[in-house]
Amino acid sequence: MAILATWLIPDQQLHQAAECLRVLAHPARLRMVELVLRQPTPVGELAKACGLTVPATSGHLRLLEHCGLLLATRVGRQRFYSPARPCLAAIIDCIRGHFN
């Protein structure tokens, strides 16, 4: 069993990953990630594309940002969101491939 332990994800990282996947596992958040993968997008555009209010969208984005999945950049009075990690594209591609 000691051999297996060398390539297993450490428990702390496993718990962090599970929390981030829980946050990502929401249709609106998945859509937001899909949209920001194309280009940095302001909150208002994400809200409109997802059919949500700006406050609701901001709440979803805060969760994604807190998990380290998205980055926010302020340009004037707007916050533009973009992927924090290139691996997000692979996650979305995996979802597309699995459910197509």
- pLDDT of 6 reads 78
Nearest of 2, 76, 4, 65 to residue 29 by alpha carbon? 65
Spell out, as residue ranges, where the chain has pLDDT lower than 50.
none
- pLDDT of 7 reads 85
At which residue do the structure tokens 């699995």 appear?
Answer: 98
Indicate the pTM of the whole model. Answer: 0.89
At which residue do the structure tokens 């981030």 appear?
Answer: 20
* Ranges of each domain in the chain: 25-99
- pLDDT of 42 reads 98
Are 33 and 68 a contacting pair, CB within 8 Å? no
- pLDDT of 8 reads 92
CATH-assigned architecture of domain 25-99: Orthogonal Bundle (1.10)
Distances (CA, A) of 42 to 15, 23, 31, 58: 30, 20, 14, 10
- pLDDT of 29 reads 98
